[in-house]
A and B are shown apart, each in its own frame.
Chain A
Amino acid sequence: MEQQNRKFKMIDVLYLLMMILPIVFLIGLKILTSPATTGISISGARIYFKLPMPIQDLVITEAQINSWFVMISIVGLCLYLTHGLKTQNILRRQHLAEWIVEKVEKLVNDNMGEYFSDFGPFIASIIGISAFSSLMTLCGLFPPTSDINVVAGWAILVFLLITYYKLKGGVLNYLKGFTEPIFVMAPLNVLGEIATPVSMAFRHYGNVISGTVISVLVVAALQGLSAMVLGWLPGFLGEIPFLQVGVPAILSVYFDVFSGCMQAYIFAMLTMLNIAGAFPQEEYEKRRQKKLLKAKI
């Protein structure tokens, strides 16, 4: 019993380390690779190395590395939450795990209907990776969601799913959808189709990076203000930007925490609504009935 308990706790610690170590590692990496000069600059992700690939070089940047480590963290969290699942006398973390699962399933069922009830893990992983990526700014790390490529990848996956479910109503039905309400509208309809993932990607990306930009601007402005107001203080005291203390943190609560979680939720919501809306329920039913009839004959 005692030994079992110890083993259980050891595994717990391992999972917790799996959650925390990637973040610590990333912070270390950031500190080691940060340039010494700390001028105000707004730029994209830092490039770690380049791999020559056809069409375009593959650049491994902070965004990629960070999102991989966030994934490891999320998996560690999942493992920790589901460690020691029981049917009775459940641990507190199992309450949390069950709460998450139930909430996500309810969200999916409410927004997508019965047919899409298997979408729970997908929506959960979208919310998880998006929220945790955005929240990385709290550790001073580069949030992968402020790289357009990362968000575009998710949006394209959603677009593929939308198209897949549209095709469930038959290819002809899918193509016919572009000529509605009249044939001339076809180019606009195609544009509208493409606009969905583009708008999703840019909405998410723009929200996160605008937070970063505004934060940087505010910090720079506060530095200038501080130098102006408190510049008369003697010696090095005048050089310390006192006004930078505290104020950016308040902004960070909105731009990093609130906006990050909000965008994750919005992205998941749009994913659900777009996929569920793309699925032609009636056409699908008709086709299935036909197929069943054919199978009977």
Chain B
Amino acid sequence: MIQSLDVISVNLWQILISLANLLILFTLVKKFLFGPVKNVMTKRQAEIDEKYTAADVAVDAAEKDKKEWEEKMQGADAKAQDILSSASENAKQRSEKIVLEAKERAESILRQAEAEAELERKKAIDGIKREIVEVSGALTEKMLEREVNTKDHRNLIDSFIEKLGDSDDTDK
């Protein structure tokens, strides 16, 4: 026959067992519930922190890259401007040089031509003079063949031509 305790019956050993029970349950709950859960929570926190720092680092790197690229782009602009301006400078210089050379050559050709023309003119003048002298000599010879001294006539005509030449040719 199974007996029952009285409603209130104090038993020292039962109290001790109950005390030990609570202590054992405390260690078990700590080991199997709080330990793992807190562990996983701290792990998750660490993961989140890690991700945040990684994201920060990535943002920093991107920011740096952006700045670098912007600087590079600006540098490239300046360089292009430089190249353009130097090229146009070069072209200008060269064109000026070419024009100058062309001018010089043209001038020299002009000078040569003038000199040649002068020479020709002189030759022509001399030729004409001679011919005039000859022609007038011959004319006068023919007109005054008999009575006039050729020598006198020649002098006369020469002086005339001399005057003529003086009037239109100052070089002489």
Interface residues of A (CB under 8 A from B): 33, 35, 42-48, 53, 55-59, 61, 63-64, 67-68, 71, 74-75, 78-79, 81-82, 85-88, 94, 97-98, 100-101, 120-122, 124-126, 128-129, 144, 147-154, 156-157, 209
For B, the interface residue count at a CB cutoff of 8 angstroms equals: 41
Contact (Cβ within 8 A) B43 A157: no
Chain A's closest residue to B18 (CB) is: A153
Q: Can you name 21 A-B residue pairings with CB atoms under 8 Å?
A: A33-B2, A35-B1, A43-B5, A44-B8, A46-B4, A58-B14, A59-B14, A71-B28, A74-B29, A78-B28, A78-B32, A85-B37, A87-B47, A88-B44, A94-B37, A100-B37, A101-B38, A121-B26, A125-B26, A152-B15, A153-B15
> Smallest distance from the beta carbon of B3 to chain A beta carbons, Å?
5
Pick from B13, B14, B15, B17 the residue with the most CB of A within 10 Å.
Answer: B14
Which listed residue (A121, A149, A156) contacts B11, Cβ 8 A?
Answer: A149
Give residues in B with beta carbon < 8 Å to A: 1-26, 28-30, 32-34, 36-41, 43-44, 47
A97 pairs with B37, CB closer than 8 A: yes
A98 x B37 contact (CB < 8 A): yes
Residue pair B37, A156 in contact (C-beta under 8 Å)? no
Given contacts A71-B28, A78-B29, could you give 6 more A-B pairs where the C-beta distance is less than 8 Å? A43-B4, A128-B29, A129-B22, A129-B25, A149-B11, A149-B15
Q: By the criterion CB–CB under 8 Å, are B5 and A44 in contact?
A: yes
A65 to B160, CA, bound (A): 170
* Beta-carbon contact of B22 and A126 below 8 Å: yes
Task: Specify which of A47, A57, A94, A148 is in contact with B4 (CB 8 Å cutoff).
Answer: A47
